[in-house]
A and B are shown apart, each in its own frame.
Chain A
């Protein structure tokens, strides 16, 4: 952490105005070579705008940018690249049907003497870069055969290979499992030692405290402050981000002892999960903890009817039910809020009205004709209730922030009057303020006697919210279920890694 070098980028008094909105006002930010600098703030605080201004996507309204002490103009992303600035965005962009090496040399493939592609040299140089960062990937492999984590690391390696001097990582761990996160941190450490400056954007506090040297906090387009990581703690940081003391976000009221609503008996699906048993009561949150890819999403998808099962029973209110597809699941009062809300939870190009009613049209129509008045009324009701921030319910959901999108998904199921809400990673990519609102909402659902099943790989979240946690390890094997008083982060991790049973 002491390997910080000279100041690499300095952004001074940056202002950025969009028509009608001041996105950034007098923001100051700098990062040194060999430094990992966290950029934190709620969604809408201006993080993305600041980064896009640096990367030449947006043009600042006023202010100065210095790279290695020299004043620069960055009119477009190519100029940013030429200055050695590189960004790895949340939605990873890479040519999936090409090999790793081709991706490294995309747009400037090496040629041999007679003008043909020089594969040997490309493979060789790519492999050298991968090896240097200790990434266990073959340069000849096609990218789509790699895991999401490997793909991300390949992209980082590519930027490193292209001699980027500043690397911006935007929520780099959103798709990674715990051990993969550690891999990533090792890579970051190596890059740091090589003198790369890194801007690290994340909503996950524990990561920030693990890898970052300094932290700059943005709020409403202003710089709140820049701190040394060693001089602050999680609570302090969160209260500075939201400008108020949030207290213990994860403590919600619990409503134990309700009657059993859902029982899952010996549910099996070859190759995805095996022998899943689960009991869910009214007013209860049942957590499912497991690493990414362990089969946890597959379990809840099967309960909802999104995927088929081989054997086992699903019992609702003491009666066995047949659930073969999502329509069956929905008619039995089950709802699924998928992990990937953008591609599975929402019709992004459609309006809020349309999305909130999406699962309920059969309830507000006769002979296939929709009662348009009721449709609007319901959308308005749930949009208000959930405090979706939007100028109008006619707004397309693609224009909403992550937190508001998640609220619309919740609204869809409230509108359907579901009884069992299955949340798959409900707060990934959602800022602190919206997170606590979503927890409050869960609490309200519970108080009304609804049940929640929640998958989360974030330990403070699942340990804080769940009444019980079922732990899954690779291949969808159930390692056991812990009651609230038995919760222990180390034990949960050991179980999820298959090292221990309950």
Chain B
């Protein structure tokens, strides 16, 4: 493919199609389109406003986790603690509200505290030289334990006004989806237009080369886990509004869903490769499999198998096409 684009006169003036074709997300968007069309043809309910809204709402929380996860994965790391952090921020906010604090301050404190959890993990990973997988695996268990202790493993009910947000709609689209959208836009801007975003890719490509180019590794690693934890905390608050209570088991195994979305979206666990846009498409494709499958009345266990297979196939195709391109 590379040699084709090298022919003399299309160096600068690539046709729009070729430019689209050369985007790493091209195949992904294609798959997404095929899925959408196929599902819509088989069952027109699929593209009904009601179902699309439903699909987006159910996906927003994992979608937000996946954005933070994408940045972590691009540095060559992984954050297994996001599911627990989600529960932590939600639970903290719920307990504060339960104790009489106003809704807004409780939410802010929940998000800030959750974000700090990420900073601490970043510090441990960088200064303690503990592999991210281990540090966040430990973090996952520790934070979940803390949540259980905080709540005595009970649900903590919150004022019904909080739950209103989950059903709130603006222009027919759930408010939760807007939150997801904001995080997506923030993610895209960070990746494209900030030093931090560029540094994330450089660190994932080669940490020592990045350090010798004057990039402060410790600072950036902390930022990246902080951002992941921030996303998890925001997701935690959304979860709180959806469930109407701080729930100790909220977000269990969500970390895997987030990793899956990023990987299907083209992120490479060896670092330096991945994009926010890709992750969004990855998230939606996975959601469509379960949603579309349910509409078609397919056994949900079979859908689990399909999602699992998709993850493996996505990586397989990616590796194959890269080899072909060389």
Contacts and interface: CB of A to CB of B under 8 A. Distances in A.
A354 interface: yes
B213 A358 contact: yes
A392 B2 CA distance: 11
B206 interface: yes
A325 B212 CA distance: 9
Contacts of A358: 198, 202, 210, 213, 215
B321 to A, nearest CB: 15
Interface in B191-222: 192-196, 198-199, 201-202, 204-206, 208-216
Interface stretch (B4-12, B49-57, B65-73, B164-172): B4-12
B205 A326 contact: no
Contacts of A391: 2, 5-6, 11
A250 B272 CA distance: 38
A20 B3 contact: yes
Interface in A1-30: 18-21
B73 to A, nearest CB: 13
B211 A347 contact: no
A344 B11 CA distance: 30
Given A20-B3, A369-B193, A391-B11, A327 B206 contact: no
Interface in A332-385: 336, 338, 343-350, 354, 357-359, 361-362, 365, 368-370, 372
Interface residues of B, number: 31
Interface string A155-181: 000000000000000000000000000
Interface in A288-342: 304, 306, 325-327, 329-331, 336, 338
Given A344-B209, A350-B202, A369-B194, A18 B3 contact: yes
B267 interface: no
A347 B11 contact: no
B214 A330 contact: yes
Sorting the interface of chain A by its residue count into under 10, 10 to 19, 20 to 34 or 35 or more gives: 35 or more
B206 A346 contact: yes
Contacts of A331: 214
B272 A349 contact: yes
B119 interface: no
B273 interface: yes
A294 B208 CA distance: 22
B6 A326 contact: no
A368 B216 CA distance: 14
Nearest to A398: B205
Contacts of B211: 306, 326
Interface in A203-249: none
A343 B205 CA distance: 9
Contacts of A21: 3
Contact of B205 (A348, A357, A365): A348
A362 B206 CA distance: 20
Given A344-B212, A412-B213, A370 B3 contact: no
Given A349-B205, A349-B273, A19 B3 contact: yes
A77 to B, nearest CB: 15
A372 B213 contact: no
Interface string B169-200: 00000000000000000000000111110110
Given A347-B201, A358-B202, A361-B198, A336 B3 contact: no
A356 to B, nearest CB: 11
Nearest to A354: B198
Nearest to A341: B209
A368 B196 contact: yes
B272 A350 contact: yes
30 contacts: A19-B3, A20-B4, A306-B212, A326-B211, A329-B214, A330-B214, A343-B206, A344-B209, A345-B209, A345-B212, A346-B206, A347-B201, A347-B209, A347-B213, A349-B206, A349-B271, A349-B273, A350-B201, A354-B198, A354-B202, A358-B198, A358-B210, A359-B214, A361-B198, A368-B195, A370-B193, A370-B194, A391-B11, A392-B11, A412-B213
Given A21-B3, A370-B193, 9 more contacts: A20-B3, A325-B216, A344-B208, A347-B210, A347-B272, A349-B271, A350-B202, A362-B195, A370-B194
Interface of B: 2-7, 11, 192-196, 198-199, 201-202, 204-206, 208-216, 271-273
